[in-house]
Amino acid sequence: MKAAVIVFPGSNCDRDVAVSLEAATGTRPLMAWHRDTELPRLDLIVVPGGFSYGDYLRSGAMAAHSPIMREVKRRAEAGVHVLGICNGFQILTEAGLLPGVLMRNRHLKFCCQDVHLTVSRNDTAFASKYRKGQVVRIPIAHADGNFFANPDMLSRIEDEGQVAFRYCDEEGNLTDGANPNGSLNNIAGVYNMQGNVLGLMPHPERLAEAELGGTDGKPMFDSLLEALK
């Protein structure tokens, strides 16, 4: 599986996700700079977490117009798989590759904690190693993770099965108390209509090794390897 990680000024999880990809695949991913305009043939592109361009204007807004994102968008529309994590999710929504927007957390505070998620779908390249309905523990670290969409768009997201993960409690209940940022319908991650683009606010790369305190994020990278190798 050939993968690339996009690096912006302010990215701080690019090396973390590169380590997880290399551990899963045995191959170091390409680290692509934001000013690049071309990419080699790839199976997967990761837009990592961090604070691209210092989160000026709003999170992901400037990065979405970087030269490299024109190429990412072209590849995604051609069927290449794209994973956006945290700030990467924000960038993908700003670039129009995913529906909805990520607004300020409802408490207007930065959230850094472990959360529980329930797997809404496991029939994609990103989630086949999970069970549908499985509850996993994954860390979050964001100030702008409050997923919002207007009623018509939210209805389409739900009707078309685009929800990837939802915030829940340890038993899998979709409670308001388990929702760390106010996201509508407890949505933590969404797919595009074709299922080849995923954005999620939690960081699977931060719990992909036992030494980090858990491995609930590892199945995502193993799923990608199996689907795209």
Active site residues: 86, 203, 205
Contact call for residues 83 and 50 (beta carbons, < 8 A): no
Per DSSP, the three-state class of 203 is coil
Amino acid letter at 70? R
DSSP state of 38: -
Burial class (CB in 10 A: 0-12, 13-18, 19+), 151: exposed
Q: Which of 202, 212, 211 is nearest to 220 (CA)?
A: 202
Helix H or strand E encompassing 147? strand 146-148
What is the spatial distance between Cα 149 and Cα 171, in angstroms, rounded to a whole number?
Answer: 27
Contact call for residues 50 and 85 (beta carbons, < 8 A): no
Structure tokens at 182: 């106010």
> Strand locations in 27-85, DSSP E?
30-33, 44-47, 81-85
Q: How long a stretch of residues is the chain?
A: 229
Amino acid letter at 116? H
Contact call for residues 99 and 156 (beta carbons, < 8 A): yes
